């Protein structure tokens, strides 16, 4: 990731809001946002991360899947 934000893409089986949260590797919350979704589509959301420093971060995406809540965790590498 470069710049001051990240674009998150995911599919959701419902129109319930998803949640995206970014944490430092020490577990400190950097940013959390509720993300609007559209059912049965690829949803795309730009998450601004102003002033984020270079380093590694964890991003957690929680959304409703066909069998209930789903959570995806990814690693973000920020280079400035």
- pLDDT at 80 exceeding the cut of 80: no
**b/e per residue 39-49 (b: at least 16 CB within 10 A):** eeeebebebeb
Check: CB of residue 18 under 8 Å from CB of residue 10. Answer: yes
Domains and CATH numbers, the chain: 5-78 (2.60.40.2550)
Residues 31-73: tens digit of each pLDDT = 999 999 998 889 999 999 998 899 999 999 998 877 888 899 9
Sorting pLDDT into bands at 50, 70 and 90, what band is 3?
Answer: low
Give this prediction's pTM: 0.84
Radius of gyration of the chain (CA): 13
């Amino acid at each position: 990731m470069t710049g001051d934000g990240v674009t998150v893409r995911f599919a959701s089986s419902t129109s319930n809001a998803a949640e995206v949260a970014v944490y430092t590797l020490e577990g400190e919350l950097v940013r959390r946002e509720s993300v609007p979704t559209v059912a049965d589509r690829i949803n795309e959301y730009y998450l601004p991360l102003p002033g984020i420093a270079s380093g590694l971060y964890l991003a957690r995406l929680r959304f409703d899947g066909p069998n209930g809540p789903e959570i995806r965790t990814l690693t973000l590498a920020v280079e400035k």
